[in-house]
Structure 1
Amino acid sequence: MKRQLVFIPVGPDELGVMSGDPAIVQRTAYTVTDELVAELGYEAKDAEDAEYAALVLASVAALCSYGARTVVVAEVDPALVSGGVDPVNGQIVLASCPVGAITSWFADEPGADVADAAAISRGLTIDQAWDQPAVQALLNSHDLLWNDVVEYRRGEEG
């Protein structure tokens, strides 16, 4: 079965979604949409670049909503995905996300100073936040760290 890669912005206190608590239901998420590909001028050979762009956009959405760049990654049945209000930025609505579909999560490295970017972008749209110098400084100076979902689940058991 074909799967669709989605990036789900979450608050740092919501990592329990990786074990189903809370469940992901009717949640705004991000993916590679036709509109995103067209906006950035990508071609079929640029699939990984388009996925990275969707991840970065999801991280900015998380910063605007939660004050931190925390993004859960899942590979879901495309039937669970419907259009969002901002498809140019890859936004979709995820009807639900089975725990088994979650593969990893990204977050800023411990100690990364996101305070200025978080304060200035709180409540803004992705496009509004993107234009803020503090957000651009954060994006250009701090890569997100990849974390395997297995690490999270192992920590829950211990």
Structure 2
Amino acid sequence: MRRRLVFIPIAPDEMGALAGRSELVDRTAYSVTPELLEELGYGAEETEDAEYAALILASVAGLAAHGTRLIVVAEVDPASVEPGDDPTNGQVWLRSCPPSAITAWFADEPGVDVADAAAISKGMTIDQAWDQPAVQDLLHNHDLLWNDVVEYRREG
């Protein structure tokens, strides 16, 4: 069965979902949408670039919603994904994400100070937060770190 890659901004207290202690349901996530591809001018052969864009947009959404760039990556059943309110930014509505669908997560390197960017962007839309100098500084100077979900499950 074909799966759909989604990027889910979470709060730090939701990390238990990686180990199966909870399930991520009925929430905003980010994915490659036709509108995102059109907005960014990506062709079908640029899937990886579009996925990276969806990840970065999810990180800005997480910063505005949770004050952190903590993003769960999952490959879910396409039937669990519905159109979101902001498809140009890759937003989708995720009905459910079983723990077995989670493959990795991204987070800032320990010690990276996101406080200014988080405070300035709190409650903003992606487009509003994107335009903030503190957010741009964070995006340009601090890459997200990839983490394998297996490592978390071993430690958790």
TM-score bracket relative to the smaller structure: over 0.9
Query: How far off is 1:22 after superposition?
Result: 2.7
1-side partners of 2:28 and 2:74: how far apart? Answer: 13
- State the identity %: 69
2-side partners of 1:99 and 1:86: how far apart? Answer: 26
Match of 2:108 in 1: 108
Matched pairs, number: 156
Structure 2: any 5+ residue segments left out of the alignment? Answer: none
User: Deviation per CA, 1:105-127, whole angstroms, max 9, x where unpaired?
Assistant: 00000000111100100000000
Residue 30, structure 1, aligned to residue 49, structure 2:
no
Match of 1:146 in 2: 146
Moved >6 Å (runs of 4+): none
Alignment RMSD (CA, Å): 0.7
**TM-score for both structures, normalised by structure 1:** 0.97
Residue 54, structure 1, aligned to residue 54, structure 2:
yes
Match of 2:127 in 1: 127
2-side partners of 1:19 and 1:147: how far apart? Answer: 13
Query: How far off is 1:17 after superposition?
Result: 1.2
One-letter amino acid matched to 1:51: E
2-side partners of 1:114 and 1:15: how far apart? Answer: 19
**TM-score for both structures, normalised by structure 2:** 0.98
Match of 1:14 in 2: 14
